[in-house]
Amino acid sequence: MATTDNGKYYESSDGLKLFYRDYAHDRPGAPVLCLPGLTRNSRDFEDLATHLAALRRVLTPDLRGRGHSAHDPEWRNYHPATYIADIRMLLDQLEVQSVIVIGTSLGGLIAMGMTMLQPQRVAGVVLNDIGPEVAPEGLERIRKYTGRLPPVRSWDDAVAQAREIYGAWLPGLSDEGWRKMARRAYRDGEDGIPKLDMDPAIGRAVRELGPQGGDPWQVFDALRGTPLLVLRGELSDILSADTLERMKKRHPDLKAVTVSNRGHAPLLDEPESVAAIDSFIGDL
**CATH value at residue 80:** 3.40.50.1820
For residue range 13-61, what is the model confidence (pLDDT) as tens digits?
999 999 999 999 889 899 999 999 999 999 999 999 999 999 999 999 9
Give me the mean pLDDT over the 178-196 stretch. 95
Evaluate if residue 6 carries a pLDDT over 60.
no
Query: Which residues, other chains included, contact 242 with Cβ-Cβ below 8 Å and sequence gap of 6+?
Result: none
| 226: β partners | none
Residue 68 lies in a domain: yes
| CA gap 191, 46 in Å, rounded | 26
Within 8 A by CB and 6+ apart from 110, the residues are 35, 80, 83, 84, 87, 101, 103
Q: Does residue 189 sit within a domain? A: no
Task: Output the pTM of the full model.
Answer: 0.96
Average pLDDT, the chain: 95
Range of the domain at 33: 2-136+214-283
Q: Binning pLDDT at 50, 70 and 90, where does residue 179 land?
A: very high
Question: Is the pLDDT assigned to residue 213 strictly greater than 70?
Answer: no
Residue 261: φ, ψ to 5°: 60, 30
Query: Residue 36: inside a domain, yes or no?
Result: yes
- Residues in CB range of 134: below 8 A, 6 or more apart: 238, 239
CB 162 within 8 A of CB 182: yes
Flag whether 145 is in a domain: no
Structural domain contains residue 116 = yes
Give the C-alpha separation, 56 to 54, whole Å: 6
Domain-located, residue 152: no
Tens digits of per-residue pLDDT, 130-173?
A: 999 999 999 999 999 999 999 999 999 999 999 999 999 999 99
Nearest to 137, CA basis, from 277, 238, 60 = 238
Residue 35 falls within a domain, yes or no?
A: yes
- Name the residue among 154, 150, 141, 92 with its Cα closest to residue 121: 92
| Structural domain count of the chain | 1
Contact call for residues 277 and 100 (beta carbons, < 8 A): no
Q: What is the pLDDT of residue 7?
A: 87
Please indicate, yes or no, if residue 260 is contained in any of the structural domains. yes
